[in-house]
């Protein structure tokens, strides 16, 4: 899967953090929520008329180049315009796109694993110049990895393929793990370095999408990017118009191989505006709702209330500890800090219940999400007791929490938490707020004692949270957390082919992690969206997926 949501950029994370932690702002939340939504819709639409236009507020994509897109804003368009071997459906399952079927992994004698794909016949590029063949898939992946393309993320998503890392640093030869068959132009074998049940999920990310070599030869993420305004993909929608900062118009690809979209076109207004006002004034069909408007639209007496929908997002906001730095090298201190936070109050009062309380690490909607997970409850007495039992006793060194943000004021979430620690533990924690680039740099360098930050799913697999962030050897493990039992469970889950078994392993690991408190989970974001009643099947997935082709308008 993919991708969807994939990855948000540091800046997006930073901004989102600032907004969420800072209490949010309509205008900013609006378009974001518009881009990614959710919704439980089932059944096939009936009586849909074609020829309708859906009007949305959108955000400017940084790029339309699948090899370079790593932020949600860009991915939201790329995923509609382009496609790859596999995609993600409304149930967040990996399903075939350009491939005919999802291949079974085959383990080789040397421990590598191969997937053999059959490319679907008759998949046309939007300009109908030609059919996609296996060599287009190979070309596209190698182009993403080629150092000349200068993609900062290709290795992250394609680095499991045998030979990909070498190719990414030299650009010489080819990626040995992507094999064509000279006798079968629609057959493609991809070999990865070890069994990884989440590998196909990574292929749903735009990095693996098919591009038209006639357009992309000689281009990189940073140069000769004009082709993107006429991007020629294979996805459900064609890029009809992209006026930078003003408008993007997508037009239905009536020959789309998984079923033509029901809408004629989708217009994204990129220039912004007052989202909810535009919605009320019938200028757009869907809008996100920020904290400023949320109480109004929740009011059952308010007409807009009938059009209000919410849905989960695959992310988590948490407080992380550097478990190597005093005083958080003592688990009791970490537990004390966790028990001293009243999350109900925090979420109910400061965040107006627009988010979902987090007990564990995995967000609702993620496979492996554990409803019965035992979180650390708010218990000020226990918190004090744990603190006095710790090796530091009542003699705690100075404690500072780092957060990313702009502007001189501390967000209401941070403020509330600092207040709770003071009230319930008697500890005065200071806050260091830095601009997001500096923040992430220092975070990676392990400079902080304690930090507040978020993590957004890149693909729909628990590995993306637990292994990436909390495995002892992971370079993204900013807590420096290391528990040999957790590491063993995560390694085992990596290669476990039975899905139920595998998810059980993740749940075991998650419970141990929660008790060890390298993080205090705070909350998971939610979409709060207004959708006009005539817009049907507007799916609000917790994650960026191609979803516009399901939407139809019935007026």
Partner 1 sequence: MPGILPYIVRRLLWAPFVLLAVTLATFALGRFGPGDPIEVLQGQYNNPEVVERIRQERGLDDPFLNQYGRYMWDALHGELGTSSTYLGVAVEDIIFEKLWVTVQYNLLALIIIFAIGLPAGIWAALRRGTWQDPLTISVLLLFRSLPVLVTIPILQYILAIKLGWLPSGGWDEREILGLKLGIFDKRIIMPLLVLSLPGIAGVARLMRAQTLEVLDQDFVRTARAKGLQEFVVVSRHVARNALLPMTTIVGFALVGLLGGSLFVESLFGIPGIGQFVWKAVLNYDYDVMMAVTLITATAFILVNLVTDIAYGFIDPRVRLGGRGGG
Interface residue list for partner 1 (CB under 8 A): 7-13, 15, 27, 60, 62-63, 65, 68, 70-71, 147, 150, 152-153, 155-156, 168-169, 220-226, 244-246, 269-274, 277-278, 280-281, 283, 434-438, 440-441, 444, 455-456, 458, 475-476
* Number of helices and strands in the chain (H, E): 18, 20
Q: DSSP states of 29-97 as a string?
A: HHHHHHHS------S---SPPSS-EEEEE----S---TTT--SHHHHHHHHHH---SEEE-TTS-EEES
Interacting residues of 300 by C-beta distance below 8 A, sequence separation 6+: none
The answer to whether the Cα torsion of 10, 13, 17, 23 is positive or negative is positive
- Which residue in 165, 533, 216, 513 sits closest to 338, CA to CA? 513
Query: Within 13 Å of residue 238, how many CA atoms lie on the same side as its CB?
Result: 16
Pick 67 or 548: Cβ nearer partner 1: 67
> Smallest distance from the beta carbon of 204 to partner 1, in angstroms?
16
> Smallest distance from the beta carbon of 170 to partner 1, in angstroms?
11
Phi first, then psi, for residue 86 (nearest 5°) are -130, 160
Distance CA 523, CA 318 (A): 7
Distance CA 527, CA 23 (A): 15
> Smallest distance from the beta carbon of 358 to partner 1, in angstroms?
18
Pick 179 or 474: Cβ nearer partner 1: 474
> Smallest distance from the beta carbon of 393 to partner 1, in angstroms?
36
Distance CA 79, CA 85 (A): 12
> Smallest distance from the beta carbon of 223 to partner 1, in angstroms?
5
Nearest-Å Rg of the Cα atoms of the chain is 24
Pick 34 or 220: Cβ nearer partner 1: 220
Place of tokens 């959708």: 531
Pick 40 or 246: Cβ nearer partner 1: 246
- Which residue in 428, 422, 412, 414 sits closest to 383, CA to CA? 422
Pick 80 or 155: Cβ nearer partner 1: 155
Asked if residue 322 lies in contact with residue 478, where contact means CB atoms within 8 angstroms, the answer is yes
Pick 272 or 412: Cβ nearer partner 1: 272
User: How many residues can be counted in the chain?
Assistant: 555
Place of tokens 């007496």: 301
DSSP H helices in 134-280: 134-145, 154-158, 164-170, 199-202, 213-216, 275-280
- Which residue in 290, 372, 327, 320 sits closest to 522, CA to CA? 320
> Smallest distance from the beta carbon of 512 to partner 1, in angstroms?
24
> Smallest distance from the beta carbon of 193 to partner 1, in angstroms?
17
> Smallest distance from the beta carbon of 285 to partner 1, in angstroms?
14
> Smallest distance from the beta carbon of 70 to partner 1, in angstroms?
4
Pick 30 or 197: Cβ nearer partner 1: 30
Pick 259 or 446: Cβ nearer partner 1: 446
Pick 191 or 220: Cβ nearer partner 1: 220
> Smallest distance from the beta carbon of 297 to partner 1, in angstroms?
14
Place of tokens 């950029």: 9
> Smallest distance from the beta carbon of 315 to partner 1, in angstroms?
10
Pick 221 or 503: Cβ nearer partner 1: 221
> Smallest distance from the beta carbon of 211 to partner 1, in angstroms?
15
- Which residue in 274, 369, 266 sits closest to 313, CA to CA? 369
Pick 229 or 422: Cβ nearer partner 1: 229
- Which residue in 127, 5, 11, 159 sits closest to 74, CA to CA? 5
Pick 124 or 278: Cβ nearer partner 1: 278
Distance CA 18, CA 433 (A): 10
> Smallest distance from the beta carbon of 408 to partner 1, in angstroms?
17
Pick 119 or 221: Cβ nearer partner 1: 221
The CA-atom distances, in angstroms, between 373 and each of 242, 288, 312, 354, 506 are 46, 31, 18, 22, 12
């Amino acid at each position: 899967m993919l991708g969807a949501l994939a990855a948000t950029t540091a800046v997006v994370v930073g901004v989102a953090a600032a907004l969420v932690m800072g209490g949010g702002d309509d205008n900013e939340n609006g378009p974001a929520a518009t881009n990614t939504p959710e919704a439980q819709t089932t059944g096939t639409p009936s009586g849909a008329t074609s020829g309708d236009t859906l009007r949305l507020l959108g955000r400017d994509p940084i790029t339309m180049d699948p090899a370079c897109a790593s932020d949600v804003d860009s991915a939201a368009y790329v995923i509609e315009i382009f496609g790859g071997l596999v995609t993600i459906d409304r149930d967040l399952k990996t399903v075939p796109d350009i491939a005919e079927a999802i291949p079974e992994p085959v383990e080789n004698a040397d421990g590598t694993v191969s997937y053999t794909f059959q490319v679907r016949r008759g998949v046309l590029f939007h300009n109908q110049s030609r059919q996609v063949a296996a060599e287009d898939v190979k070309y596209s992946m190698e182009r993403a990895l080629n150092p000349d393309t200068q993609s900062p993320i290709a290795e992250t998503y394609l680095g499991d393929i045998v030979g990909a890392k070498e190719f990414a640093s030299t650009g010489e030869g080819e990626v040995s793990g992507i094999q064509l068959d000279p006798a079968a132009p629609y057959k493609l074998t991809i070999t990865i370095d070890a069994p990884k049940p989440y590998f196909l999920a990574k292929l749903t990310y735009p990095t693996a999408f098919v591009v038209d070599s006639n357009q992309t030869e000689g281009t990189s993420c940073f140069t000769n990017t004009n082709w993107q305004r006429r991007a020629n993909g294979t996805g459900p929608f064609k890029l009809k118009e992209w006026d930078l900062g003003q408008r993007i118009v997508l037009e239905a690809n009536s020959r789309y191989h998984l079923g033509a979209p029901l809408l004629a076109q989708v217009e994204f207004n990129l220039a912004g505006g007052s989202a909810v006002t535009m919605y009320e004034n019938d200028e757009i069909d869907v809008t996100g709702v920020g904290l400023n408007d949320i109480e109004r639209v929740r009011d059952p007496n308010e007409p807009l209330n009938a059009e209000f929908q919410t849905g989960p997002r695959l992310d988590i906001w948490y407080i992380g500890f550097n478990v190597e730095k005093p005083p958080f090298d003592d688990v009791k201190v970490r537990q004390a800090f966790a028990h001293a936070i009243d999350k109900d109050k925090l979420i109910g009062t400061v965040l107006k219940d627009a988010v979902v309380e987090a007990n564990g690490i995995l967000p609702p909607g993620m496979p492996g999400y554990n409803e019965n997970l035992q979180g650390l409850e708010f218990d000020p007495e226990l918190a004090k007791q744990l603190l006095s039992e710790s090796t530091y006793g009542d003699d705690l060194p100075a404690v500072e929490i780092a957060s990313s943000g702009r502007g001189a004021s501390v967000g209401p979430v941070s403020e509330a938490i600092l207040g709770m620690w003071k009230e319930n533990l008697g500890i005065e924690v200071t806050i260091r707020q830095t601009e997001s680039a500096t923040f992430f740099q220092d975070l990676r360098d392990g400079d902080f004692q304690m930090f507040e930050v978020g993590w957004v799913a890149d693909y729909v697999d628990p590995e993306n949270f637990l292994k990436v962030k909390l495995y002892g050897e992971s370079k993204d493990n900013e807590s420096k957390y290391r528990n040999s039992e957790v590491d063993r469970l995560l390694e085992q889950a990596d290669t476990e082919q039975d899905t139920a078994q595998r998810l059980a392993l993740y749940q075991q690991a998650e419970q141990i992690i929660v008790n060890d408190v390298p993080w205090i989970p705070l909350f998971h974001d939610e979409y709060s969206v207004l959708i006009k009643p005539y817009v049907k099947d507007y799916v609000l997935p917790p994650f960026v997926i191609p979803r516009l082709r399901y939407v139809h308008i019935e007026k």
